[in-house]
């Protein structure tokens, strides 16, 4: 089940504090997940990483260059539940 992200706050060391539409909140550490290659290369710059925003149509986090992350995967990481297809 898709859970849209409704709030995002960048925190130190490539982490994002997220709140989902169902009220679930938590922090995901993206430093170990992102390869910082391709579309994610600009995110290696902490100032660029901090430009994260929510795309209300996609219900997920995005950066100015179009990089985005799957909200289901982020939800699973915060809750410790498996991603359902």
- In tens, the pLDDT along 41-52 reads 999 999 999 999
Task: Check if the beta carbon of residue 4 is closer than 8 Å to that of residue 59.
Answer: yes
Structure tokens at 6: 């409704």
Structural domains of the chain, ranges and CATH numbers in brackets? 5-79 (3.30.2020.10)
The residues of the chain scoring below 50 in pLDDT are: none
Phi-psi region of 78 (alpha: psi -120 to 50; beta: other; left: phi over 0): alpha
Structure tokens at 20: 């989902």
pLDDT at 42: 97
Task: Return the sign of the alpha-carbon dihedral for residues 73, 76, 81, 85.
Answer: negative
Among 30, 63, 32, which residue's Cα sits nearest to residue 48? 63
């Amino acid at each position: 089940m898709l859970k849209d992200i409704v709030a995002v706050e960048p925190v130190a060391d490539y982490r994002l504090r997220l709140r989902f539409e169902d009220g679930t909140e938590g922090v995901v550490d993206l430093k170990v997940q992102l390869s910082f290659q391709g579309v994610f290369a600009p995110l290696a710059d902490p100032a660029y990483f901090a430009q994260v925003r929510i795309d209300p149509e996609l219900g997920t986090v995005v950066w100015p260059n179009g990089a985005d992350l799957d909200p289901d995967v982020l939800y699973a990481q915060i809750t410790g539940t498996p991603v359902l297809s």
